Amino acid sequence: MPKINITDVILRDAHQSLLATRMRTEDMLPICPKLDAIGYWSLECWGGATFDACVRFLKEDPWERLRKLREALPNTRLQMLLRGQNLLGYRHYSDDVVRAFVHRAADNGMDVFRIFDALNDLRNLKTAIEATKAAEKHAQGTICYTVSPVHDVPGFVRMGKELAAMGCDSIAIKDMAGLLTPYVTAELVKALKDSVDLPLHLHSHATSGLADMCHLKAVENGCDTIDTAISSMAGGTSHPPTESMVAALRGTEHDTGLDLEAIQEIGMYFYQVRKKYHQFESEFTGVDTRVQVNQVPGGMISNLANQLKEQNAIDRMSAVLEEIPRVRKDLGYPPLVTPTSQIVGTQAVLNVLTEKRYQTITNEVKLYLQGRYGSAPAPVNPTLQQQAIGKEELIDCRPADLLKPELDRLTKDIGPLAGSDEDVLTFAMFPEIGRAFLEQRAAGTLQPEPLEAPKTATSEVKSAPTEFKINVHGETYHIKVTGAGHKEQAERHFYFTIDDIPEEVVVETLDELVLTGGTEGAVKKAIAGKRPKPSQPGHVTTSMPGNIVEVLVEEGDTVTAGQSVLVTEAMKMETEIQAPIDGTVTGVYVSKGDAVNPDEVLLEISA
C-alpha cells in the first residue's frame, strides 16, 4: 500500500497556471489511457477557469469534456474545484442552482468536489457540501491559506474542525499563491492532523520556489495526499513536479508506489503539447519570490500579465503588484483566490491605470463592501466602504439567504437554446458568453480562438504565395502564412497573420479554395469596428480593454457629469463608466457585446 497519495493537476491547474487555461480536450484524450494506468488518488480536471475558458475561448462544451474524460479515465477519481456558493461563476447562486450543479456534475462523472470560499466564510460552503453528500460523492472541505495580520495556525485549525463537523470526507490546504514556507507547513499540517481526524491534502503552488520543500515537510508531518503536476508543466506558478516527488519518496516509508518510468512517458507527451500553446506562456511563470510580499497567486499573475499585455501596459505590472496589498488591506485581508483575486486585481489595475486610487470602483468591490460575498476576515476600510455603498444597506447574513430560487427563471430565460439541464447551468455560470456559446452552437458556427503556429511547425504551402497583400471591400490587408499542420491530418490547421494579427483556420481537405474561404472569414473579422481616437473632453473612453455590457444612454440624451453612461466588463469584472462633462450625447459608437479598447471613443458628449 502506498503511504502517500498523489493528485495530479495536469488537466486543470497546471495549464491554468502556465498557459492561461487554454489546453484543449483534443490534447488531453490521447494520453488518458496512460494517465489512467498510473494509480493516482485523483486527477484534477475541472474548475471555474477551465469551464470559463472552454466556453469563452475554446468553444468546447465543458460538460462534454467532462463526459469524455470520464469515459477515457474509468479507473481514476476525477476531481474538481468548486467555489462554494459561487460554483464556477463569479456571483452567489441560490441554493437550488448549487444543488442542481453538484448533481449534474456528479452524474456526468465527477467524484471529488474540492469546495472552498474565497473569504473562508464557511456559511458559503454549506449547501455545496450537503449536495455533494446527497449525491454520494467525496466532499473535500478547503482551507484557503493566506498570510495577514488576522490569519494564524489556530484559526486554520478551527476551520478544519468546523469543516469536519459539516460532514466533509477530507480537508485540503489550498495554498493558491505559494505562500507556505516549509516550517509553517510542518506546523500547520501537524496541528491539523492532531485535531481533525480526516485525510489531509496539500495543494501548494511552486511560485516562490518553496513548494517541493513544503510538500516534504507536509509528508513528514502526516499529510496523506499531495497535489503535483507532470514535470513538463510543473514549477514556477504551477506545482511541484510529479516525477520529482515520486523519486524523492521512493524507497522510504512514504513511497507513493507509482511507476516513475510510466509517468516520465506522460511528461514527454505534455512537453510536446505545451509548445502548441506557446503564445499563452506568461513572462511571469518562473520562480518569483515577490509572492512572499505581494501574495498574488500564480493564475492571477498570468491573467494580469495577459490583460496588461493586451493594452500595451505590461510595463505597469510592478506597479499593479505593489497596489494589490493596499487594496487587499482596504478590503479586510481576503485570501486572494477567485473571485476575490479578480475583485482585488481589477481594482488594483484601475487604481494604477487611472492614476487616482478609487476614482473608479468596480461593481464587485461595491458588492463586496456591502457584505454580499460574505464576511471579510477583518474590518474593511470604513471611508472606502462609505464612498462605495453610499446609502445602501450592509448585509451580515449568509448572502445566499437573500436569494430566491432561480433555476426556473434561468431555464425560462435561456429557453429552447438549452438542450439540457447542463446547458441551463452553463448559461447560469456565464450569462453573456454562455448564451453566445449556445447561440453559436445552434447556428453551427462555434470556432475556437486561433493559435499561433507552433515554433516547430513547418510551412508546407509551397504552390501558393505565403506572403501577399489583398484588397477586400476597399481595404488592403497584409497576409502572411506562418505555418501549417501535417498534410496527413484529416483536419489540417493553417496559421497566418493579417496585419500582424495571428489567425488560424482548420480545413478538412488540402485544397486552395478551402484555404481562401477560411481567410476571407478571418478578414471579415478583422474589418469590424473602427472608432475615432479620443481628443475632446466629451469623449467617453474605457481605462481597460473589455466588452460593453450595457449602453445606458441614446443619442440626443441630456447627461450630467458623473452620470453612469456605459457598463463595461474587463477581467470578468463590471465597471460603470461616467459622463466626463455635462451635455448632450451626440455620438454612440458602441453597442452591447462590442469589444472596446482605451484608445477609442465609445460615446461623444457635446457641452
Which residues in this chain contact Mn ion in the complex, by CB under 5 A?
13, 176
Q: Nearer to Mn ion by C-beta: 207 or 519?
A: 207
User: What is the C-alpha to C-alpha distance for residues 327 and 345, in angstroms, rounded to an integer?
Assistant: 8
What beta strand segments (E) does 101-168 contain?
112-115, 138-144
**Is 235 or 580 the residue whose CB approaches Mn ion more closely?**
235
Question: Could you tell me which residues are beta bridge partners of residue 372?
Answer: 374
- Measured from the CB atom, is 493 or 572 closer to Mn ion? 572
User: Smallest distance from the beta carbon of 253 to Mn ion, in angstroms?
Assistant: 28
Smallest gap, in angstroms, from Cβ of residue 47 to Mn ion?
9
By C-beta, is 176 or 296 nearer to Mn ion?
A: 176
* Minimum CB distance to Mn ion, residue 376 (Å): 22
Least gap, CB of 337 to Mn ion (angstroms): 8
- Provide, rounded to whole angstroms, the least separation between the CB of residue 239 and Mn ion: 8
Question: Can you tell me the distance from the alpha carbon of 549 to that of 352, in angstroms, rounded to the nearest whole number?
Answer: 23
Nearest distance in Å: CB 184, Mn ion:
18
Cis check for the bond before 62: say yes or no (omega within 30 of 0): no
In eight-state DSSP terms, residue 209 is S
Residue with Cβ nearer Mn ion (131 or 176): 176
* Closest residue to Mn ion using C-beta atoms: 13
The residue among 78 and 176 lying less far from Mn ion, judged by its C-beta, is: 176
Judging by DSSP bridges, how do beta strands 603-606 and 539-540 pair with one another? antiparallel
CB 240 within 8 A of CB 17: no
Paired sense of beta strands 475-484 and 492-498, if any: antiparallel
Residue with cell 474540492: 114
Q: Which is nearer to Mn ion, 13 or 423 (CB)?
A: 13
Q: What would the 3-class secondary structure string for 192-261 be?
A: HHHHCCCCEEEEECCCCCCHHHHHHHHHHCCCCEEEEECHHHCCCCCCCEHHHHHHHHCCCCCCCCCCHH
- How far is Cα 140 from Cα 435, in angstroms, rounded to an integer? 31
Query: Closest Cα to residue 440, out of 34, 59, 160?
Result: 59
User: Smallest distance from the beta carbon of 586 to Mn ion, in angstroms?
Assistant: 49
What grid cell was written down for 94? 441560490
Range list of β-strands (E), 130-250: 138-144, 170-175, 200-204, 225-228
| Shortest Cβ 56–Mn ion spacing (Å) | 19
**Cβ nearer to Mn ion, comparing 13 with 323:** 13
HEC assignment per residue over 356-378: CCCCCCCHHHHHHHHCECECCCC
- How buried is residue 110: exposed, middle or buried, by Cβ count under 10 Å (0-12/13-18/19+)? buried
Q: What is the three-class DSSP state of 319?
A: helix
**Residue closer to Mn ion (CB basis): 50 or 385:** 50
- Residue with Cβ nearer Mn ion (176 or 324): 176
**DSSP-derived secondary structure for 21-61:** T---GGGTGGGHHHHHHH--SEEEEE-HHHHHHIIIII---
Can you name the residues that pair with 43 across neighbouring β-strands?
Answer: 8, 78
Question: Least separation, in Å, of the C-beta of 109 and Mn ion?
Answer: 21
Least distance (Å) between residue 499 CB and Mn ion: 37
